[in-house]
Each structure stands twice: as C-alpha cells, then as structure tokens.
Amino acid sequence: MQARRVFLQQLALGLGLSSMADYSFAADPHTSDVPVDRPLRVALLGLGGYANIVAKGMQECKMAKITGLISGTPSKIDTWKKKYDIPDKNTYSYENIEDIRNNSEIDLVYVITPNSLHHKFVLEVAKTGKHIICEKPLADNAQQAREMIEACKKAGVRLYVGYRLHFEPHTQEVIRMREAGEFGKIMHVNNYMGFTIGDPTQWRLKKALAGGGAMMDVGVYSLNAARYCTGEEPIWVTAQESKTDPVKFKEVDETITFQLGFPSGIIANCGCTYNFNHSERLHLMGSKGWAEMVPAFGYGPIKGKTHLGPINQPSVNHQAYQMDGIAACILQNKPDPNVTGEEGLKDMIVVDAVYESIRKGGQKIMINS
C-alpha cells in the first residue's frame, strides 16, 4: 500500500486565511514499523448515530481504543459499556465531565454531539487536561471556534476536528497531484454534497442544536474541498439559498449554492442540500488535467479518476484511519495533520461569510481573518 499522506497544518491562530501551500507528510500508521507502548485511549462524548459509526470503525484501529464513555442518557451508557467492555469507572454523565481529569485511562475525548453543543463541551473538556477531537463543524461560528482554540491552547491540550477525508487515500492522491503540478494551473473547482434528510423531528432541523442546516452539516465538505483542491484561501464569497419546503426547513437552510473567489483568480462553484440525493461530487479542472471523484465525501467507498485514469487507491475505513492518524501524532510525535482546530476555524470564517451573503441578498462578501 502506498504510504498514506497526512498534511501538516503549519499556520498559527491569528494568521487567518493565509496560504495553505505548505504541507508535510507523515507515515501511515497502518504500515509503520514504529512501535507504541499502548494505544491512544479515547472516550466518546455523545453516543448518538455517528458515535456508533466511529465506535464500529475504531474496532479496526491499530493505535487507538475506546476506553471511556460520556453521555447524558444513562440507558445508553449501560448498553455501550457492555458492547465495548468499558468499566463503570470510565463512564461519565454530562454533569460530572470534570472528573475525567483524574482518569489515567483516558487520553483524549471525542466530542460527537449536535453541532451547537460542540463549543460548550470542548471548553469543559479542555479544563480536564485531555486532548480533544471535535466533530465537524467545529462550532456554530468563527468566534466560538476561536474561543475553543484559545481554551485548548491555555490548557495545553491538542484540539482536532473530525475531517476524516484528510486521511482518505483517494483525497490525498488528488492533493498530491495538485501539489506536484500534475494538473497544471488550477482553473476551476466544482463541488457538491447533499442528501434527502429524513425524520422532520431530528436535531439537524432545529437551529438551537444544529446551528444551521445543510451548509453547516454537508456544505463544509464542499467548502473544505475547494480549499484543498486549490491550495489557496478564499478572499470573497457570494451565496444563495433556495427553500422548497418552508415547513420542514422553517428553522434551517435547505439548499445553498455558493461561489468562492481565490487570490489567483480561481472561482469555485459549490453547493449543499438537504433535499435531494445523488449530489456528491468533486470536480477539479486544470490547464494540464483534471480530477473527478463521485462519490467524493461519504463514508465510502470513494471513487475517482483523473486525466491519467482511475485513482488506484485502497478503500479504507475512514474512522479507523482518522483515529490512527491522530494517535500517531500524539503517541509518536508525528507532525499534526491538517485537521487541527485552526483548520476548522478557517472553514467557519467562510461559513459565516456565506450566511452573511445570503442575509444581504447574495452580495459579495470579502473574507477577512
């Protein structure tokens, strides 16, 4: 298997939207011969739908293991501790999170709650001295993201965001080709992500829990991909919202299209939706070649091709690769991949601008740090 490439985030908080061009690569922990004394010991905070996917994926991890559980629902704790053999002393409620500071069997907490609870729980966990992974989007807005980064910095803990695709081999190959100049000058990017949302009573349709709708949930994929496809940071955005079901989507956005302008003159057309399926794609066009991935952002298998032919990379368990990649950073002192809190902040700055453009009738919004 080709060594898995992990991107180094070298920009410090406060530099805002400067270049993404400088990366370095770390060894794939799935092929590394570097031994570790023990796995990264992870507590899951929030035991909902995606936590189940993470937990299942982590059964394939070589360097990370679930050792703790945190939930506001006691019945979930009972079920999960039996399923994953977690002792009572490593289980916590939302009310006694501070007690994990004294638990030497937990190194890191993975926050997998509804979006609008990310800020609250990251601040609480940071005080315990445990490292943190927060599921995307990092926060409801850029200001919250800044506060989370600062709290972790003050506590001396690492903050990561759950951008699993930064560990996914097809995605990494496209970025490698772009950085190597194999596409020539990037001319245009077109990304879309969405699906038909189901249960109208779910938390994703409640602004108080979700922070927003399709843009917050799946629009971040289109946005983040536009950044890693160009290697640049956007300097302006225009955005439009359409809503075909004002009852179901009373509180949150249903479908948003947005355009990102980059310093080199590249324009990326992006979109996201909660109203239709079969819209998951990435398309990059350059002066010498192109890349297309369909599907591009889901849990897999990711499929793609370029002007040179199929992207021949392995299909992997995204959650296992993500957790082993982060474990390698913490346990083996590998360079931090491009999934730090600062990376999440950069996307939140743009998300804020998208919503501002919509409020102002599609007006072009200049993006500042």
Non-local (6+) Cβ contacts of 75 within 8 A are none
Give the CA distances from residue 294 to residues 33, 89, 280, 288, 302, in Å, rounded to whole numbers and listed in that order.
33, 45, 6, 21, 7
Could you give the residue ranges of the DSSP H alpha helices within 30-141?
Answer: 49-58, 74-83, 118-126
How do strand 131-134 and strand 108-111 relate by DSSP bridges? parallel
Catalytic residue among 136, 163, 334, 346: 136
Choose among 63, 45, 243: nearest CA to 167: 63
State the Cα torsion 272-274-276-280 to the nearest 10°: 40
Q: What one-character-per-residue DSSP string does 160-206 give?
A: EE--GGGG-HHHHHHHHHHHTTTT-SEEEEEEEEE-----TTSGGG-
Catalytic residue among 23, 92, 160, 221: 221
Choose among 11, 16, 18, 7: nearest CA to 263: 18
Distance CA 168, CA 171 (A): 6
Is 136 a residue of the active site? Answer: yes
Q: Are 237 and 261 in contact (CB under 8 A)?
A: yes
Is 355 a residue of the active site? Answer: no
State the Cα torsion 132-137-313-324 to the nearest 10°: 10
| Angle of helix 341-359 versus helix 220-230 axis, rounded to 10 | 110
Amino acid at position 184, single letter: G
Can you read off the two tokens belonging to residue 74? 């006691």
Can you read off the two tokens belonging to residue 354? 């998208």
Distance CA 230, CA 142 (A): 22
- Residues identified as active-site: 136, 221
